Structure 1
C-alpha cells in the first residue's frame, strides 16, 4: 500500500479524525501565540534578558511536570488528560487576552500565563504521544504520524504569518484571543474520543516511573539519541525562539518579518511531511542526525542578518529536514517501545530535551549583554551541528532502521516487560 492510500485509510478511522481535528485546530492558534507573547513583552520594554526569563517560565513547568504527565498518561484515559489540559490552556489564554485588550496587563501577568500554559502542556504532550497507538493499527502508524503532522504544519505556516500580521496591525491581544478560541474548539473534538481505560495497576506512581526509567536506560541507542536532541533542542530554541524575535525587532522590521520567517519554517515542515509519506526513510539514525544538523542554516542566516528572503529560505529548508526526522523517529519509537510504556518513555525523553532549556534562555539572555547577537547565534549554530552529527561515529546509531529489532530493546523488554512486571505487582497495564 503506497503512502497516499495509507493516508486515506487512516482518515477513515472516526476517532483518529476527531483527534486529528482537535490537534489541528489548537495548533493553528498556538502557532500565532509565541509571536504575540514575544512582541507583547518587547513592546512592554523588556530586553533579551527579560524575554529569556519569560520563555524560561514556559519551559520550566514542562521540565518539572513532564515525568508526572508521562506516568499519568499511562495510568489514566489519555483522552481525558488531553481535554482537561486544553481546557485549562483556553481559559488562561482568554484571561491574558482580555487583560491585554483592556490595557491592564502587566509583565508579571504575562509571565504567569506562560507558566500555566507550560503546566498544561506537560500533561497534554505525553498523553497525545501515547494516543496514536490506540487510534490506528500498527501497520498504519507511519502514515498516521505523517497525516497528523501535515495539517499541524500547515497550521504552523498560517499561524505565524497570521499572528505576525495581526500583531503588527492591531496588537498581540487579538492574536492571543484567537489562540484561546482554538483551544476551546479543540476541546469539543477531543471530548468525542473514547480511548480504553488503562488496566488498574497495584503499583505506585513512583514504581511506574522507576519501571519506565529502567526501560529507558536499557536501550543505549535511545539514551544516545535523547542526549543528542538535548543539545540540539537547546541550541535551536535559544537561537531561534529567543534571538530570532530580537533580531527581527531590531534589524528586520518587526513582528511581520518574524511571522514570515516562522511561517517559512512551518511551511518547510509541511514539505517534510509530504517527503516522509512519499519516501519513508528507513535509516533512522542517519536521517535524524543529518536532518537535525540542517537546523543550523537559519541560525547562521539570522546571526549575520542576511536578507529576509534568504533567512526565510533557510528556515523552509530547515523545516523540511526537521519534519522528516520527526516522522521517522516517531515511527521508530512506536515500533520499538511497548504501548504501555510509550507515555512514560516519551516524557523521559522530552524531559531530557527540555531540562537545560530554561537555564539556557536565562543564561544566553544574560550573556547577550556582553557579546553581539552575531557571536551568540553563530556559537549556537556550531554547537548544534557538532551535537547532531557526533552520534554517527557510533555504528549502533548509523545502523538504526525501521523494521529492526535492536538487541537492547529486546533485552529491555525481557527484563521489564509489562507481563513480567505484572507478576511482581510493579507494572502498568497497557492503555
Structure 2
C-alpha cells in the first residue's frame, strides 16, 4: 500500500532529485515563453495575429519533422546526453530570440529560424525524457515518479506564468526570453551531472512487437539496424496497441484546437478585451495551479481502466474556450483554466505511466516519438488557421469552435474497445482470477 510519505521517499534518491530539478527548471524556462513570445511579437511594429501565427508555426514544424528521429536517437544513445543536448539547443534558440527583440532587429525569417531551434530541441528532448524515467525510477514507483515530476513542472508553470507576465510588463518580452534561455542552460548542466548506468539490455527482443509475447522471432539486440528498421520496429510497437493510436488521433485534434486557443486566440482576446498580458498570465496561472492540484489526485488515483479514465478527463478541456468565447468574466475564465489544468495533469500521469508499463523499455522512446508526432501533427494547422479565423469569423467564435473540436474528438475516442477495456496490471490479474 502506497502513501504520500512513501512516494516522497523518491526525493532521497540523488539521481531522481537531479532529474526532477532539471525538469522543473526547464519547465520554468518554458513557462516564461508563452507570454514573453506572444506579447513580444505582438508589440513589434506592424505585427498582428498572423505574424504571431507564423513564428509559432515555425516553432512547431521542427517538432513534427524531427520527432521520429528524436525517438531513434534516444533509443540508440544514452538518454542523459540526448536530453542535455536538447536543453542547450533550446537555450540557444531563446537567447537568439531575446537578442533580436532587445536590439530591434526582428526580420520575420530570423525570428522564425530562432523559434525553429526550440522546436528542434523539443523533438530531441521529449522522447528521451519519457524513456529516461524508468531508468531512474523503480517500476513499482513509476506513477509516483511521474506525479512528482509533474508536481515540479506544474509548480514551475505557476511561477513562470506569474513571473513571466510580470517580467514582460516591467521589462519587456526580450528580457523574459533571456531568463528563459538561462534556465534551459542550467537544466542542461544539471542533466550533465546525472550519472546513469547503461540500462541492462535484454538478450533478445521480439520482432515484430506484439501484445501477445508468443508472436515474433527473437532478434539479437546487438545486431546493427538502420534508422528505417528502427522506425519500423517502433511503428509495430505503436500500431499493435489500439489504445495508443486511438488516443493519439484524438490528441491530434485536441492539440490543434489547444494550439490555436492557447497560442493565438487566447492572447489575442486578452489583448482586445481582457486587459492584456496580465490577464493572460492570470489564465495561465489558473491552469498551472490546477495542474498542481491534479498531481495530488494523480498520486493516489489507481483506476482499473486507466486509459478510459484518462480520456474522460479530456472533456473538461473545452470549458475555458467556451467561457472565453462567451465573454465570461475573467475570474470565471481563470476557474475554467484551473479545471483544465487539474484534468490534463491527471491524464498526463495516467498516460505516461501506462505507456512506461506496457511498452518495452528498448522501444519506449520511439513509441513516445510516434505518440508526440501524431499528437502534434495538426498543431501547426491550428496555429496557421487561428489568425485568419479570428479575422474572418471573430475571436470569440473561433474559440467556441476549438471547444467543439475537443468534445467531438474525445467522444469519438471513447468508441474504441482498446480505450475502454485496457486494465491496469493489478486489475488485470484480479480479472483473470475471476474467470
Q: When the two structures are superposed, what TM-score results if normalisation uses the length of structure 2?
A: 0.90
Counterpart secondary structure, 2:401: helix
Question: Does residue 292 of structure 2 align to residue 291 of structure 1?
Answer: no
1:315-394 alignment to 2 at 5 Å? Answer: 315-394=337-416
Q: Is the 8 A contact 1:130 1:339 kept in 2?
A: yes
What does residue 173 of structure 1 align with? Answer: 174
What does residue 333 of structure 2 align with? Answer: 311
Counterpart secondary structure, 1:193: coil
Taking the aligned partners of 2:254 and 2:384, their CA distance within structure 1 comes to 17
Taking the aligned partners of 2:234 and 2:427, their CA distance within structure 1 comes to 19
Question: Does residue 94 of structure 2 align to residue 72 of structure 1?
Answer: no
1:18-417 alignment to 2 at 5 Å? Answer: 18-44=18-44, 45-197=46-198, 200-403=222-425
Taking the aligned partners of 2:363 and 2:13, their CA distance within structure 1 comes to 24
Measured after TM superposition, the shift of residue 246 of structure 1 is: 0.5
Measured after TM superposition, the shift of residue 30 of structure 1 is: 1.0
Measured after TM superposition, the shift of residue 218 of structure 1 is: 1.3
Measured after TM superposition, the shift of residue 80 of structure 1 is: 0.4
Measured after TM superposition, the shift of residue 95 of structure 1 is: 2.8
Taking the aligned partners of 1:293 and 1:121, their CA distance within structure 2 comes to 26
Which range is displaced more, 142-151 or 180-189?
180-189
Q: Is the 8 A contact 1:6 1:140 kept in 2?
A: no
Taking the aligned partners of 1:208 and 1:92, their CA distance within structure 2 comes to 29
**What's the CA shift string for 1:332-384, capped at 9, x where partnerless?**
11111010111000000110011111122112322332111122111110121
Counterpart secondary structure, 1:2: coil
**What's the CA shift string for 1:174-206, capped at 9, x where partnerless?**
111111111111112100113344765411111
Q: When the two structures are superposed, what TM-score results if normalisation uses the length of structure 1?
A: 0.91
Unaligned runs of 5+ in 1: 407-431
Which range is displaced more, 355-364 or 128-137?
355-364
Which range is displaced more, 141-150 or 232-241?
232-241
Taking the aligned partners of 1:349 and 1:48, their CA distance within structure 2 comes to 29
Q: Number of aligned residue pairs: give it.
A: 407
CA RMSD of aligned residues (A): 1.8
What does residue 423 of structure 1 align with? Answer: none
Taking the aligned partners of 1:105 and 1:362, their CA distance within structure 2 comes to 20
What does residue 418 of structure 1 align with? Answer: none
Counterpart secondary structure, 1:194: coil
**What's the CA shift string for 1:286-317, capped at 9, x where partnerless?**
32122111100001111122111111010001
Counterpart secondary structure, 1:104: coil
Taking the aligned partners of 2:182 and 2:386, their CA distance within structure 1 comes to 34
Measured after TM superposition, the shift of residue 403 of structure 1 is: 1.3
Unaligned runs of 5+ in 2: 202-221, 429-435
**What's the CA shift string for 1:213-256, capped at 9, x where partnerless?**
11211112221111111111211221222211000011111111
What does residue 216 of structure 2 align with? Answer: none
**What's the CA shift string for 1:135-158, capped at 9, x where partnerless?**
011001010000100010010011
